[in-house]
């Protein structure tokens, strides 16, 4: 077998050598024999390859490929710069006004030093598809924040938050005055809302937010809370409408600021309504005298004030006032919806910041006498809310 293979290999070699020899040209001289053989020329280009359209197409494809490679490289490096750490050495506040377009925002950021290139920021925003989602406001740009982080912050609207606190028991006019005094909010309030239409609370907002917008949030929160409280009210209340609940809560709100007294004060007024007794609440007299402006500093009620005729004066008028006398908070609304289960009909200040409660008129008179002793001991005149209420009629 081995001899057969070697014999066949030798035969193939001889055939190949013969073929190569047949193509060689015998040299004419020794010098020519030393020269390398000439390589045959390449085959001529076809007419189709020499056509102008083909040449243009090849050129165009070359340009497209180069452009794609260059564009891809530019996009890659641009994306890296857009997402890389910024050069801002310390946090800085930047304010974006309403209606500012992407170019204006980029220019403002560059002038503040928050970004290094406004054009790169614009391109990054457009490639991200967020050009219509950048929100106005005041933003705190952290040190070393990337352009993407800045864009994401503006898209989410995570601006610097300010707040305005509205205490329970303010009238609607007093709330509007407080909003007007805030120099971060903008715009005018068209009209003062009705009493009891707003929910006292702490409201957060960003620079450039409008006063009317904050007021509308107070309205929406009030409606939501009042509806929730009304749906969980006790079944035996002498109150038939949600508006009456708010009116009663406003009276309770003005009578006490102590959390543990609200439900008991509410019980006194609920018990009086059940017995057709007048509420005899001093805050209703003050509202009858001054309305939404509130009691002036240093004003003291007199017995003559208690006798003045007004639908809001619960010393001279039966039942509830015709409308709320303030904007009650959630705690007062809850107290009226689910008051304490007591038979108290009277209460008077006890000299310690709270009140002394009584079921009978005689007990109430003793509480009043004790209050007057405390007042004399501290050299303070007893205010008008301390006189004993008229006996039930």
pLDDT tens, residue by residue, 353-391: 889 999 999 999 999 998 888 877 765 444 444 444 444
What integer pLDDT is reported at residue 215 of this predicted model?
97
pLDDT tens, residue by residue, 36-55: 666 667 666 666 556 676 66
Beta carbons within 10 angstroms of residue 285's beta carbon: 26
What integer pLDDT is reported at residue 343 of this predicted model?
95
- Containing H/E element for 203? strand 202-206
Which stretches of the chain drop beneath a pLDDT of 70?
1-40, 42-51, 53-56, 58-60, 67-68, 70-78, 378-393
d(CA 265, CA 283): 13
Q: Cα–Cα–Cα angle for 265, 271, 272, nearest 5°?
A: 95
What integer pLDDT is reported at residue 193 of this predicted model?
97
CB burial of 27-65 (b: ≥16 within 10 Å; e: otherwise) equals eeeeeeeeeeeeeeeeeeeeeeeeeeeeeeeeeeeeeee
d(CA 97, CA 201): 27
What integer pLDDT is reported at residue 387 of this predicted model?
47
Question: What does pTM read for this prediction?
Answer: 0.72
With CA atoms as reference, report the closest residue to 145 among 108, 207, 90, 103. 90
What integer pLDDT is reported at residue 381 of this predicted model?
45
With CA atoms as reference, report the closest residue to 167 among 246, 243, 284, 254. 254
What integer pLDDT is reported at residue 63 of this predicted model?
76
What integer pLDDT is reported at residue 384 of this predicted model?
43
With CA atoms as reference, report the closest residue to 357 among 339, 372, 343, 377. 343
What integer pLDDT is reported at residue 262 of this predicted model?
95
């Amino acid at each position: 077998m081995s001899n057969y293979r070697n014999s066949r290999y030798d035969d193939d070699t001889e055939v190949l050598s013969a073929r190569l020899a047949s193509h060689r040209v015998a040299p004419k001289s020794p010098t020519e024999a030393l020269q390398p053989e000439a390589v045959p020329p390449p085959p001529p280009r076809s007419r189709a390859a020499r056509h102008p359209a083909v040449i243009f197409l090849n050129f165009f494809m070359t340009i497209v490929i180069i452009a794609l490679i260059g564009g891809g490289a530019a996009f890659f490096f641009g994306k890296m710069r857009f997402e890389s750490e910024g050069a801002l050495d310390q946090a800085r506040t930047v304010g974006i006004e309403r209606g500012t377009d992407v170019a204006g925002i980029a220019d403002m950021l560059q002038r503040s030093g928050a970004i290094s290139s406004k054009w790169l920021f614009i391109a990054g925003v457009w490639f991200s598809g967020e050009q219509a989602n950048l929100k106005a406001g005041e933003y705190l740009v952290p040190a070393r924040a990337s352009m993407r982080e800045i864009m994401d912050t503006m898209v989410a609207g995570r601006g610097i938050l300010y707040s305005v606190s509205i205490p329970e028991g303010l009238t609607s006019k007093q709330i509007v005055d407080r909003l007007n005094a805030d120099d971060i909010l903008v715009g005018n309030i068209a009209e003062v809302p009705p009493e009891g239409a707003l929910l006292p609370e702490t409201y957060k907002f960003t620079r450039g937010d409008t006063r009317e917008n904050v007021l509308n949030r107070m309205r929406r929160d009030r409606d939501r809370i009042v509806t929730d409280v009304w749906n969980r009210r006790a079944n035996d209340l002498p109150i038939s409408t949600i508006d009456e609940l708010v009116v009663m809560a406003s009276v309770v709100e003005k009578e006490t600021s102590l959390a543990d007294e609200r439900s008991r004060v509410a019980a006194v007024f609920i018990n009086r309504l059940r017995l057709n007794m007048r509420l005899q609440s001093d805050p209703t007299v003050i509202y009858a005298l001054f309305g939404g402006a509130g009691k002036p500093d240093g004003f003291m009620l007199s017995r003559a004030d208690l006798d003045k005729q007004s639908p809001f004066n619960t010393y001279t008028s039966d039942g509830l006032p015709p409308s709320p006398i303030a904007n009650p908070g959630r705690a007062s609304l809850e107290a009226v919806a689910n008051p304490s289960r007591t038979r108290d009909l009277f209460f008077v200040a006890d000299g310690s910041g709270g009140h002394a409660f009584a079921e009978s008129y005689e007990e109430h008179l003793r509480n009043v006498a004790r209050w007057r002793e405390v007042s004399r001991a501290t050299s303070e005149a007893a205010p008008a809310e301390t006189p004993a209420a008229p006996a039930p009629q």
